[in-house]
């Protein structure tokens, strides 16, 4: 089994860095090659259990939080929308504004494609441009809701799909992967009530085309 990239662990929670192209949890077609399976195997050796709090899309990398008992899972999920969830993304073209909040209603069709509509589930996505070049922009994204494919569908709708995102009509695949990474998560610990910040730097390939931006 590939070694987990553990960001933080205590008796109650486990925070790991998920690679791109790995499912968070299983599907009907794939049950074993998942982050959940790897975490379960790891915790099984310590006589601990794992409970899924949230998930990232298969092609999105970055921070994933797990709980070690069902009560903590429920507490974390209850407060999930209050937590700070930030991403780094590389998108096609230049954004219409340096900073903006995208408020859309999202629906999903029978092919599991999420699209903006005049009805559906409300979504709130904030972005800020960090750097641009001739064909792409590096942005920071913060989500206030947790809809499926929310960031991908919202950015595609305004004409700036995430690079490598063929599902949402991206034409550029400069990173040879989806240009989306969950980079920062701020929560209140469900037991200690202490505010905790977890950080995962986006892969270096995200920054190769942006000479003016330095990730601290």
Q: Which positions are annotated as active-site residues?
A: 57
Kindly report the length of the chain. Answer: 216
Compute the distance between CA of residue 139 and CA of residue 146 in angstroms, rounded to an integer.
19
Q: Are 213 and 98 in contact (CB under 8 A)?
A: no
DSSP string across the chain: -PPP-EEEE-SSEEEEEEPTT-BSS--SS-SSSBHHHHHHHHHHTTT---EE-----TT-EEEEEEESSHHHHHHHHHTGGGSEEEEEEEEES--SSSEEEEEEEEEE-TTS-EEEESSSEEEEEEEEEEEE-SSEEEEEEEESS--TTHHHHHHHHTT-PBTT-GGGT----TTSS--EEEEEEEEE-TTT--EEEEE-PPPGGGGTT-TT----
Q: Are 72 and 51 in contact (CB under 8 A)?
A: yes
């Amino acid at each position: 089994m590939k070694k987990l990239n553990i960001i933080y662990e205590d008796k109650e929670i486990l925070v790991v860095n998920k690679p791109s192209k790995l499912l968070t949890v299983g599907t009907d077609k794939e049950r074993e090659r998942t982050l959940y399976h790897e975490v379960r195997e790891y915790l099984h050796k310590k006589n601990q259990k794992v409970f899924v709090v949230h998930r990232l899309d298969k092609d999105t990398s970055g921070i994933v939080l797990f709980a070690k008992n069902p009560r903590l899972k429920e507490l974390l999920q209850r407060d999930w929308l209050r937590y700070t969830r930030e991403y780094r993304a590389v998108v096609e073209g230049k954004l219409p504004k340096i900073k903006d909040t995208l408020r859309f209603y999202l629906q999903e069709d029978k092919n599991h494609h999420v699209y903006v509509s005049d009805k559906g589930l409300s979504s709130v996505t904030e972005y800020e441009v960090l750097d641009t070049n001739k064909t792409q922009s590096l942005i920071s994204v913060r989500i206030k809701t947790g809809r499926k494919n929310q960031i991908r569908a919202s950015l595609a709708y305004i004409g700036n799909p995430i690079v490598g995102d063929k599902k949402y009509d991206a034409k550029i695949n400069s990173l040879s992967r989806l240009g989306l990474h969950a980079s920062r998560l701020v929560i209140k610990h469900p037991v200690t009530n202490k505010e905790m910040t977890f950080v995962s730097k986006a892969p270096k390939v995200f920054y190769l085309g942006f000479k003016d931006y330095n990730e601290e």
